[in-house]
Structure 1
Amino acid sequence: MTRLLIKQAHLLVHDNELKLQDVLISEGKIVEIADEITTPATRTIEAQGALLTPGLVDVHVHFREPGFAYKETVATGSQAAARGGFTTVLAMPNLDPVPATPAAFTQIKANNEANGRVHIYQYAAISEGLTSADVSDMETLAADGAIAFTNDGKGVQTAATMLTAMQAAAKVKRPLVAHVEDESLVNGGVMNLGKRSKELGLPGIDPLSESSQLARDLVIAKATGVHYHVAHISTKESVDLVRFAKSQGVQVTAEVSPHHLLLDETDITGDNAYFKMNPPLRTPTDRQAVIAGLLDGTIDMVATDHAPHSLAEKQRSFIGAAFGITGIETSFQLMYTHFVKSGIATLEQLLQWMVVQPRVAFNLPGQSELTVGAPADLALFDIAHAHTITADEFLSKGVNTPFIGATVYGQTVLTLVNGQVAYEA
């Protein structure tokens, strides 16, 4: 029987206190947690005070396969996830073929299982091609294992389609996840419409494209009783709408990406497409609003929207470059450094946003606490030493991030999935 012993790791205990503990793992599960464990082990890892947490959960990743393997594959994406400390991810359906049919979905799910280094749950599409008015066969797709339904990358443009989709998702008890964007208000924009876009001479996306469609959806969500989840929320108006909807009993959850918490349009000082993402970086006021929304519970969780692209697609002008940044390898470090180490939030809050709430909202198997008997999906982070992010360290095929050069704390030392090493520094 193989036994893995992690010696002297810091575990979070009550009241945000860290305590040095040994953790023994066998047969894919935690079998003992104690101040000192002397049981013989097949392998012993000296944690040297690194932080041991449950594996992180990311409900919004793009692994690009099938259809766009030159950007990322399930193998490279899941390796990157493990390097980021993530043991569970939810993969988006903007693929080719789009998983809107049972045949396409089961093929994609099988590929995830064959090539994934972490637990991968697959979204099915709301509609064919992410654009059709005809809603997918959600009953069959849910039975085949669809974790939820989304047309991420595209907003659902008609209220009638969204009503039908929400009714179908409610019937099969799966979340309906929305990329909220009214295309009639995008106007060919490449960044947020405002003072900065005018200064840079770049076409702007009206922030109303997000909040106006969100308002429509929240009304329909209340009428249908569906669990409605807002992807990558980015504007003050959107946060206000979700806060009000929650007060009215709407079953709504929301996520925010690290880049919308840490950057805003004033960080775009030139025509650098590494800052091009959808939704775009908004105003400083919007950034403060999403931070406030995260801290007060309006926004439930942090999700990366990990969106790798080739260098050719990003090393060009804002106009013509692809939207999106990578994030799964830098998310915990950035959040730990800028929120926990700075004192804005506690480590307990961070783990709520990156472990507990994603599991609860999407009804995921596994456990959010380090307890005896829990699956050994674990991550070990070095929170004591500074690290500078470099372009050559990524396991993802994508290096398209504006955070290259940033100094962070919390580099991943080790990630275990079912007690097996998925990543080791």
Structure 2
Amino acid sequence: MRLHIVNGQLVTPAGILDGDLLCTDGTITAILDRGAQVDADEVYDAAGKLVFPGFIDPHVHSRDPGLSHKEDFDHSTRGALVGGVTTVLEMPNAIPPVDSAEVFEQRRRQHEQSAWTDFGLWGLALGDANLDQIGPMFEAGAVAVKLFWGYALHRETRSLVYNLGDEKPENLLMPPPNGQVLQLFAEVAKHGGVLAAHCEDKDVLATSQESLGHPIETYEDLLAARPAVAEATTISIAAQFAKATGCRFHVVHLASEMGLDVVRTARRNGVAVSAETCPQYLTLTDADYPKVGPVMKVYPPVREQRDQDALWAGVNDGAILSLGSDHAPHTVEEKARGFETQPAGAVGCETFGPVLLDALARGKTTAMRLAEVASTQTAKFYGLYPRKGVIRPGSDADLVIVDPELRRTVRNEELIAKQPVSPWNGFELCGGPVATVLRGEVVVRDREIVGERRGRFVRADHSAGHADRLSA
């Protein structure tokens, strides 16, 4: 199969090139001068379009298995593909969680049956409870392991427990103490892998909620109950643990200026601490709550304009390495509840690309930088490069073709998600994907899936000699 993409502007590590692209049997084989004549099975005219490497969403909770009434891998990867994402990295906290090499292999086989995008898998870290499985999960190809630092888990299902009062103490698996967490850092470092964590200090949160003196009723209450210092505190501890052990530590869904300051300090001091942020933190603030409503509830919470400004600065100057959606659906009914009982999380993988492209159109970043944080650097960090994340000969022909002038309004009823409740419902976006190419085949045209399901598992390579791996 030979696909010839002509007349586009190619977003490459060498810059934005006016050229054509030849893809053969799923791989990019040549970047050609515009107008070059080649034999091809299909020609795609990308005149007036930007051609990005396919977006990689490293932070997806598909709820499958165990909570598949909220979402499943079929729906999440279909939505991702329509939004320009060609590879998703699936988080481990389904039921049962991916906390061993045995479950890792079970999950890989399961998701291979329903994947529309290529995919990688995270492992779950539980402290001493599965320390012996960290190495085997990396050997099985895990992109990283995640620690829900400070969160209790249900003892039987290993699902997250947000409100301890909702469960009997005997049903809870309490978060590992910091001594165990330090051992976890050392174990991950021994295998050359990545350890990531949800960073909010549980004691700061508990005291802040108690000091509030009443249930969370307003968005101001939510911010008071989950202050930015909770995020910064955990990142500070992680930076010391990373320095002591040599572990690569990654902050997922970074939400605050205060947290980013800690990341910057660690990086300046040569400590292998890196960060991801998400579209919700880059495009929404507390001022959007009257329009968006309770569906905006995520953890850590969306904060103030100064936090958003700081995060954009971090994206553009390199302090923030990667972007992820944190796609974490709940039912329509659950997201309609008030603050106190509504679970945190939002639908996001389908809008991941379009929301970021709208930010590009608004001048928040450049096409080159967007390609780095949404594709290339993500692939390098998670051990998928150079197979994924870049337009260059020899890499997989994963591409998203973007019309910078396209205008589309996000509507819940048009989303593919099983529970279509988006924080961006009603937002008009400028710039968006008009085609997605997965391994050399055009699989989406104008939001319509035209190819067959062909997603497959991608094994991470965290070996010490892996080329171009980012340390922080």
TM-score above 0.5, yes or no: yes
**Equivalent position of 1:56 in the other structure:** 55
**Equivalent position of 2:120 in the other structure:** 121
**Equivalent position of 2:99 in the other structure:** 100
CA–CA distance in 2 between the matches of 1:270 and 1:87?
31
Alignment deviations for residues 15-70 of structure 1 (CA, whole Å, 9 cap, x no partner)? 85452x33232211123433124334323323332221111112111111111111
**Equivalent position of 1:273 in the other structure:** 294
Gaps of 5+ in 1: none
2:105–2:140 Cα contact (<8 Å) kept: yes
Shift of 1:270: 7.7
Distance 1:212-1:386 versus aligned 2 partners, 3 A rule: same
Shift of 1:387: 1.3
Check if 1:178 corresponds to 2:202: no
Shift of 1:393: 2.1
2:11–2:53 Cα contact (<8 Å) kept: no
**Equivalent position of 2:69 in the other structure:** 70
1:117–1:422 Cα contact (<8 Å) kept: no
CA–CA distance in 1 between the matches of 2:246 and 2:204?
28
Distance 1:382-1:271 versus aligned 2 partners, 3 A rule: closer
**Equivalent position of 1:348 in the other structure:** 368
Distance 1:289-1:36 versus aligned 2 partners, 3 A rule: same
CA–CA distance in 1 between the matches of 2:220 and 2:374?
37
Q: Which of 291, 310, 322 matches 2:331?
A: 310
SS in 2 for 1:269: helix
Check if 1:287 corresponds to 2:308: yes
Root mean square deviation, CA, Å: 2.5
Q: Which of 20, 23, 33 matches 1:22?
A: 20
Distance 1:319-1:296 versus aligned 2 partners, 3 A rule: same
SS in 2 for 1:221: helix
CA–CA distance in 1 between the matches of 2:53 and 2:374?
10
SS in 1 for 2:131: coil
User: 2:361 corresponds to which letter in structure 1?
Assistant: K
How many residues align structurally? 415
Shift of 1:420: 2.7
CA–CA distance in 2 between the matches of 1:176 and 1:261?
24
More RCO (CA 8 Å, sep 6+): 2
**Equivalent position of 2:452 in the other structure:** none
Shift of 1:419: 1.5
Alignment deviations for residues 260-317 of structure 1 (CA, whole Å, 9 cap, x no partner)? 1111222222892211001111122222222222222211121111112221121221
CA–CA distance in 1 between the matches of 2:396 and 2:25?
9
Q: What are the residue-to-residue correspondences of 1:38-49 with 2, within 5 Å? A: 38-49=37-48
CA–CA distance in 2 between the matches of 1:199 and 1:317?
9
The percent of aligned pairs where both chains have the same amino acid is 29
CA–CA distance in 2 between the matches of 1:378 and 1:389?
22
User: 1:217 corresponds to which letter in structure 2?
Assistant: A
Gaps of 5+ in 2: 152-174, 447-472
Check if 1:414 corresponds to 2:435: yes
SS in 1 for 2:339: coil
Distance 1:15-1:359 versus aligned 2 partners, 3 A rule: closer
Shift of 1:149: 0.6
SS in 2 for 1:316: coil
Of stretches 220-229 and 317-326 in structure 1, the one that deviates more from structure 2 is 317-326
2:145–2:194 Cα contact (<8 Å) kept: yes
Check if 1:162 corresponds to 2:181: yes
**Equivalent position of 1:142 in the other structure:** 138
**Equivalent position of 2:109 in the other structure:** 110
1:94–1:151 Cα contact (<8 Å) kept: no
Distance 1:182-1:379 versus aligned 2 partners, 3 A rule: same
Alignment deviations for residues 332-387 of structure 1 (CA, whole Å, 9 cap, x no partner)? 2222222x222232110111111111112112141443223332111111212211
CA–CA distance in 2 between the matches of 1:52 and 1:233?
28
Q: What are the residue-to-residue correspondences of 1:232-243 with 2, within 5 Å? A: 232-243=253-264
Shift of 1:231: 0.4
Shift of 1:151: 2.8
Check if 1:329 corresponds to 2:350: yes
CA–CA distance in 1 between the matches of 2:408 and 2:392?
30
SS in 2 for 1:22: strand
2:89–2:120 Cα contact (<8 Å) kept: yes
CA–CA distance in 2 between the matches of 1:144 and 1:198?
45
Check if 1:206 corresponds to 2:227: yes
User: 2:377 corresponds to which letter in structure 1?
Assistant: Q
